[in-house]
Structures are given as structure tokens and as C-alpha cells.
Structure 1
Amino acid sequence: MKISVKSADNEIIYELNNSNAAKTLYEQLPLTMEVEPFSNNEMTFYPPQKLDTSDTPLSSGEAGTLSYYSPWGDVVMFYDYCNPNGSLYGLGEVVSGKENIEKLGGTITVSIYTGE
């Protein structure tokens, strides 16, 4: 399962893991929404439905990871390290465009990546 996160000028491709949370996100695609910077290490967006975190591994918080912060219900795209915690779940890893994560802004489209 691969997804594309695209703004007007930038695209990031993630490969999702096989967790319930990743599958729940994948099933909601495509999504068009606002991306928001948070802290000094991440960009976030809020899918319309909460993700099922059962059988989902915790996130390492490494740059390039796609994670889900369950208390707030937001998907997190890390461009710098974040200390892991028990509420941060791993969804996948960047496979291309890691340098573009912190450049995202405004409206993004999150969709199934078809390789085209």
C-alpha cells in the first residue's frame, strides 16, 4: 500500500505498513484537506474518521515516518526526529520526497499512489 501526499508544488510518497491504522487510513482515500505545521518537526492533517490502532506498532518518531497521534486523531508526517510515546502509532515510511515534507502548506491531496 503506497500513498501520495501532494500540495501544489510538492509530493511525498509513503509505503504503509500492514497495520489496522494504516488500512483504516487507506480506506478513506482520496482526501483533500489542509495541512498544518506543528512544533518544529512535523506537518499534520486530520482524516475524517479516527484510525483503528489495534495491532498497530508504536512509531519510532524518526524523520520520514508517517504516524498517527491517537489523542488528537491527526496523521503526522515527521521531517525531524520526535520522541516516541505510547500514543504515537506507526503507519509507514517515506519512499520518496522526504525533503518536501516541511515544504508542504495549504491544501493537500492524499491519495492511493499508482506509480504514474
Structure 2
Amino acid sequence: MNRLIITTLLLVGCTQVYACSADKGLDASIQQDDTSKKDTMKLKITIGDKTATAILYDNPTSRDFAAMLPVTVKMDDYSNTEKIFYPSRKVSVKDAPAGFDPSVGDITLYAPWGNIALFYKDFGYSSGLISIGKITSGIEAFAVKGSITAKFELVK
């Protein structure tokens, strides 16, 4: 009987130790996911006499886009939600997730069409949308009717 109680206690203890270590593993994976959007590149976007600032995340798509900069483009309004433009060449989609749920200020690549999209209004999840950065100030420069001309450049 004592042996049964001791064995049961040992099994319960091992299960708790395993559960605690599994929780730590989960926390580590959550922290890793949070750092996947580490802002390693700073971006300046000039729209007329206004300036917006942004960060580009450290992922293959962002790095490939950054390699094209500086660039001055005409950004068309799309659905009163985002400003879009088509880069001079296709941007890498290596290791990209299946989709993304953008909010105000998100800079993305819409892989199926190949356009860069900057959201000035919230939008829902879209397959093929890849997050590449975020506007940190000056989003109001994009929330205007019609097309705009914008210069994108990296800040050293």
C-alpha cells in the first residue's frame, strides 16, 4: 500500500514538473514570436511636405523590399482603406506566413498581386498578405482621398 502511494506521488510530481517545463517552452515560443517582428530597419516616408516614420520588420520580404530603397512612387487609394503601389520587381515571399490581419499603420506585401499596401484603416485577415512593417508616426498623411506621391528611404 505504501509503495502504491509513493509511486502515485512520484507520478504526480513528474507530471507537474513536465507541465511546468512545457509551460516554459510555450512562453519561450511566444517570446520568440514577439521578437520575429524586431524592428531592425527605420524608414522615412515623405509625402509632399509631410513626413511619416516607420519600421521594417526583420524578415525576408522586408529585407528584399528595403534593398529597393530609396524609391519614389505614386500610391493609389484602394477601397478607402489602403494606399498601394507596385514595386519595380517582385518582392520575395520566402518563409512568409499564409496571411495577415492588418490594422492601421501596417505596411504589407499582397503577394498574389505583388503590390505594397499601406493600411490607413483597419481591415480583416487576408490570405497572401505579408506584414513587412509599421508606420510609427504620420499615418494621417495617407488617409487622404485619391493618389499620393511618396518617397520611401531607409534612415541610417
TM over 0.5, shorter chain = yes
Structure 2: give runs of 5+ residues left out of the alignment.
1-40
Between 1 and 2, higher relative CO (CA 8 Å, sep ≥ 6) is seen in: 1
Is residue 99 of structure 1 aligned with residue 140 of structure 2?
Answer: yes
How big is the shift at 1:53?
Answer: 1.2
TM-score (norm 2): 0.67
Q: CA deviation at 1:48?
A: 0.8
Q: State the Cα distance separating 1:100 from its structure 2 match.
A: 1.9
Q: TM-score, normalised by structure 1?
A: 0.88
Aligned to 2:152: 110
Alignment of 1:4-83 (within 5 A): 4-57=44-97, 58-83=99-124
Which has the larger displacement, 24-33 or 4-13? 4-13
Q: CA offsets per residue over residues 55-82 of structure 1, 9 Å max, x none?
A: 2344321111001101111111101111
User: Any stretches of 5+ residues in structure 1 without a counterpart?
Assistant: none
Q: Which amino acid aligns with 1:56?
A: A
RMSD of the alignment, in Å?
1.6
Divergent runs of 4+, >4 A = none
Q: Equivalents in 2 of 1:76, 1:12: separation in Å?
A: 15
**Percent identity among equivalent residues?**
25
- For the 8 Å contact 1:7–1:105, the answer to whether it is kept is no
Q: Cα deviations across residues 31-58 of structure 1 (Å, max 9, x unaligned)?
A: 1121110001100111111111112344
Code of the residue aligned with 2:42 in structure 1: it is K
Q: Which has the larger helix fraction?
A: 2
Paired letter, 1:53: V
Q: Number of aligned pairs?
A: 114
The one of 110, 120, 127 equivalent to 1:86 is 127
